Amino acid sequence: MNTYTDYLWFNTKKRQEFVRITDEVAAIVKTSGIADGLVLVSAMHITAGVFVNDWEEGLIGDFQTWLEKLAPAGLPYRHHQTGEDNADAHLKRTIMGHQVVLPITGGALDLGPWEQLFYAEFDGQRRKRVVVKAMGN
Amino acid sequence: MNTYTDYLWFNTKKRQEFVRITDEVAAIVKTSGIADGLVLVSAMHITAGVFVNDWEEGLIGDFQTWLEKLAPAGLPYRHHQTGEDNADAHLKRTIMGHQVVLPITGGALDLGPWEQLFYAEFDGQRRKRVVVKAMGN
Amino acid sequence: MNTYTDYLWFNTKKRQEFVRITDEVAAIVKTSGIADGLVLVSAMHITAGVFVNDWEEGLIGDFQTWLEKLAPAGLPYRHHQTGEDNADAHLKRTIMGHQVVLPITGGALDLGPWEQLFYAEFDGQRRKRVVVKAMGN
């Protein structure tokens, strides 16, 4: 049984941005040499997430509109009494999920036809990290 | 360390349907011969999910009413400009979660007394798949 | 490849309570002797969750206010026709997530600077369990 660990770095131009990372994670899995197992992809910052969904610009816009409705920016959050202004980012990432575990089969990500992996940034414009850890034979 | 992979297929009669799959996954774990490890159960389609909760019809109805309130069908979603009509299904599956990882202990699923595993379909009436990958000793 | 399993028990004083468990899980990982791998931390009861976010009292209050807005207690849920009164707890735990998988690197939890692990209780004042299963080399 082998493990292989790598990290992806992000520094988004916009405060909120969804970045497709399917290819980057697939490349890490290939480098790992693992033929069969699991790979964890997990945001290491608490105002960002990782999720699987469709690679379609309209839907990405729908997600962002929807998250703003469910977890609006600019409310008088108690967290902001500490000097922070990003409580909504913590809530939004909770809706989207902060990590996924993907299956590796035959040396590659075992994904359905429309499954794409995304990094979801909700308080960007600074350097942040995602851990990618593969484990298997 | 062994791995074992199988797939569950679904073709629900209704567009939205929750299907209990605890027994099917328990059977795959038994077939795998793995005594101690983890099993990933993950929807391979982006308008379906997998979650753990209570096997009680009233609560399942509550979930569906609640999801319709949080992520309503029929809004003028941007995703629908592509010809799709299922943006709400993408949002609903995001709330419920698209995958779970269950512990295997003593050759069986290590679940609490009320934990049941469900497949959550939000755009059904077509063939869809769930990947089940067990890994352990 | 080794596995190591332990359980954390909770019996919260309040019905709803968030309990930081980073140190408890880190101690289990240390005891496991696993240097590189994954650890699953998963609530075994369906009205509780496990999540990663910030250890800041204001934000914890924000989460609780927000969850009450998205999944209010006291509505005429169908689940309550069974005699239960905790449908909202099932919904709230769904928003927060019921489990996380954490990376183990160099014999310790491989967490970002602000990542803290929490047990989220939504129907407490009774004994409940979380399974912690580590797997790796």
pLDDT band at C80 (very low <50, low <70, confident <90, very high): very high
Q: For residue C94, what is the nearest residue in chain A, using CA coordinates?
A: A95
For residue B119, the model assigns a pLDDT of: 98
Would you call A131 and C54 a contact, using CB atoms and an 8 Å cutoff? no
Q: Do C110 and A5 touch (CB under 8 A)?
A: yes
- HEC assignment per residue over A33-87: CCCCEEEEEEECCCCEEEEEECCCHHHHHHHHHHHHHHCCCCCCCHHHHHCCCCH
Q: What is the DSSP string of C78-117?
A: GGGGGT---HHHHHHHHHH-SEEEEEEETTEE---TT-EE
Residue range A32-54: mean pLDDT, rounded: 98
Around B48, how many Cα atoms within 13 Å sit in the side-chain half-sphere?
Answer: 33
- Contact at 8 Å (CB) between C49 and C120? yes
Pairing mode of beta strands B48-53, C128-136 = unpaired
Which has the closest alpha carbon to A129: A34, A24, A3, A23?
A24
CA-nearest residue of chain A to B97?
A97
Spatial contact of A72 and A80, defined as CB atoms under 8 Å apart: no
Third-level CATH fold of A2-136: Jelly Rolls (2.60.120)
- Which tens digit of pLDDT belongs to each residue from C10-26? 999 999 999 999 999 99
User: Per the confidence metrics, is the pTM higher than 0.90?
Assistant: yes
**Confidence (pLDDT) at C131:** 98
Residues of B in contact with A40 (CB under 8 A): none
Residue bearing tokens 């983890």: B38
Q: Measure Cα distances from B18 to A59, B49, B55 in Å.
A: 24, 9, 10
The residue of A29, A38, A60 whose CB has the most chain B CBs within 10 angstroms, and thus the best one to mutate to test that interface, is A38
Q: Are B136 and B2 in contact (CB under 8 A)?
A: yes
Separation between Cα atoms, residue A75 and residue B72, nearest integer Å: 23
Element (H, E) at A92: helix A87-96
Q: Which of A43, A46, A81 sits opposite C54 (nearest CB)?
A: A46
Could C58 and A77 be called an inter-chain contact, meaning their C-beta atoms sit closer than 8 Å? yes
pLDDT range class, residue A58, cuts 50, 70, 90: very high
**Disruptive mutation site among C3, C18, C59, C133 for chain A (greatest number of A CBs within 10 Å):** C59
Q: Do A133 and C66 touch (CB under 8 A)?
A: no
Query: Mean pLDDT, chain A, as a whole number?
Result: 98
Q: The complex's ipTM?
A: 0.97
H or E element: which one contains C59? helix C57-70
- CA distances for B67 relative to A8, A111, B61, C71, angstroms: 33, 26, 10, 10
**Considering only CB atoms, which chain A residues are within 8 Å of B79?**
54, 56, 58-59, 62
Instruction: Report the chain A residue with the minimal C-alpha distance to residue B84.
Output: A59
Which residues in chain B land under pLDDT 50?
none
> How many whole angstroms separate alpha carbon A24 and alpha carbon A97?
19
